[in-house]
Amino acid sequence: MKKVLQISFWILLIAGVIVLLAFIGQKHNETICHSFDLSIVNPGTDHLITGEEVSAVIILHIDTLKGKTLGEIEFYEIRRILNTIPYIKSADIQTEISGRLNIRITLRQPLIRITNKNKLSYYIDTEGYLMPLNPGHPSRVLIANGNINDGISDLGSPELHIDSLDENSVVKGLWGMAAYMKKSPFINRMIGQIWVNASGELEMIPMIGDYTIHFGTIEDMEEKFEKLVTFYRKGAGKAGWIDYKSIDLKYKNQVICSKK
């Protein structure tokens, strides 16, 4: 008898919880959305899109949110819309009991800007995703241009990744180089642009000074950067590196300089 009573108790408890959840869900669906808030989780000075622009895209596609019941709002559609915006890494949508709708978005962080032989310019983020330019929102990142034959004439899918490019693509090498440079505040402050010449070798344009750094290929990249840093810190100061016409890092264990 005692066992029967225990089973009956648990059945009634579970049934009660189900009914309560259904009631709460119904009341939640009937709640009027009185406000809509969209914010960026990782704010920065070089955003490729603003929260206001994302909100405008959402409203453009689904008209309005305020005044609708939460049950009428198509949350899957909102997610679909957000997924079409290439600058968004992830989004979290939550509702409050009061009827407030909160959207928190995390933006992709641009790492390098590429301009290829087809004159197409795009950013690549820290995770390797390609993003189109957004007029009015330039990002102060490393620039690479010149003889970059990546075969891209249109970005197409917002989820285009460098892994989809040819294994020997120069763009993959440039992205890896930009990631390495980003880890070194010193190098990151010194180099502003990379030019890929007709031979496929890299020429770097410094942020300060009127000279060219001949880097050669991406091969032995870390060793070459180490030579450059050592030269700047130990040798260039004595010689007056601003007076140089070029600095050549292509040769093993050597830094060859040419004066103006």
Q: What's the pLDDT score for residue 215?
A: 92
> What is the C-alpha separation between 251 and 242, in angstroms, rounded?
21
Q: What's the pLDDT score for residue 7?
A: 53
How far lies 43's CA from each of 49, 50, 83, 123, in Å?
11, 10, 19, 18
Query: Do 158 and 93 share a structural domain?
Result: no
Task: Give the model confidence (pLDDT) of 53-64 as tens digits.
Answer: 998 888 888 777
Instruction: State phi, psi for 173 to the nearest 5 degrees.
Output: -65, -40
The answer on pLDDT for 187 being more than 60 is yes
| Burial state string for 219-229 with b = 16 or more CB within 10 A and e = fewer than 16 | eebeebbebbe
What is the SS3 assignment for 246? strand
Query: Do 139 and 81 share a structural domain?
Result: no
Task: Give the model confidence (pLDDT) of 238-260 as tens digits.
Answer: 555 567 788 889 888 788 777 76
Q: Are 236 and 208 in contact (CB under 8 A)?
A: no
Q: Are 123 and 133 in contact (CB under 8 A)?
A: yes
pTM attached to this predicted model: 0.81
Q: Flag whether 79 is in a domain.
A: yes
Domain boundary among 52, 77, 107: 107
Query: Do 224 and 135 share a structural domain?
Result: yes
The answer on pLDDT for 143 being more than 90 is yes
Task: Give the model confidence (pLDDT) of 192-237 as tens digits.
Answer: 999 999 999 999 998 887 888 999 998 899 999 998 888 877 766 5
The answer on pLDDT for 87 being more than 90 is yes
Which structural domain range is residue 41 located in? Answer: 35-107
**Three state DSSP letters for 25-38:** HHHHHHCECCEEEE
State the burial class of residue 208 (Cβ atoms within 10 Å of its Cβ: 0-12, 13-18, 19+). Answer: exposed
Close Cβ partners of 190 (under 8 Å, ≥ 6 residues apart): 206, 207, 208, 232
Give the residue carrying structure tokens 């409203």. Answer: 59
Q: Flag whether 8 is in a domain.
A: no
